[in-house]
Amino acid sequence: MTAGYLESPEALKDLRTLNARFIENFIRNDVESHDAILHPEFICVRSNGARINRESYLKAWATGFDPDVVIYWDVRDELITLIENVALVRSTNRHVIRCDGQDEAGMSTYTDTYLYQDGAWKCIQAQISPVAADREPGEETVISVYIHGVRQA
């Protein structure tokens, strides 16, 4: 482990890039790219408290995003905290889901926990929670927007 790297702006830049890649992997249902950033001991904690092992998580990842159902998706309010060789990468997503001709909007917030080991960041846990309407971060915090799975400029 390189202490100099972990204390540098480059480490934060790399984590922002990983966060963007995580989202891109979701939007594209890209299991291979996503698998490459997950630690072998990865676990996901869903908003209902269910713990999903790595194998089940990746299986669901292959079909988790449908651009005809998730018609809007954004990433906002990114906050990254580094503590030695552990990083907490937090963001919020706003989504609009179309079901039977009806659109329903909502937000969820996530924390992805990364471990820096053997010269690379690997996600060891992803946890997601719904966001109450009175806690929603504003439009000024939006980082990226996807409409029907296409990233907007």
Please check the confidence at residue 90 and state whether its pLDDT lies above 90: yes
> What's the CA gap between 131 and 48, in Å, rounded?
13
DSSP class of 142: E
| Among candidate residues 129, 145, 140, the one with its CA nearest the CA of residue 24 | 145
Q: Kindly indicate the confidence band of residue 3, based on its pLDDT and cuts at 50, 70 and 90.
A: confident
Domain 3-151 has what CATH class?
Answer: alpha beta
Domain segments of the chain as ranges: 3-151
Task: Fill in the DSSP letter of residue 3.
Answer: H
| The pLDDT value given to residue 1 | 47
At 42-66, the pLDDT tens digits run 999 999 999 999 999 999 999 999 9
Model confidence pLDDT, tens digit, residues 28-43:
999 999 999 999 999 9
pLDDT of residue 25 exceeding 50: yes
Q: 91-103 pLDDT, tens per residue?
A: 999 999 999 999 9
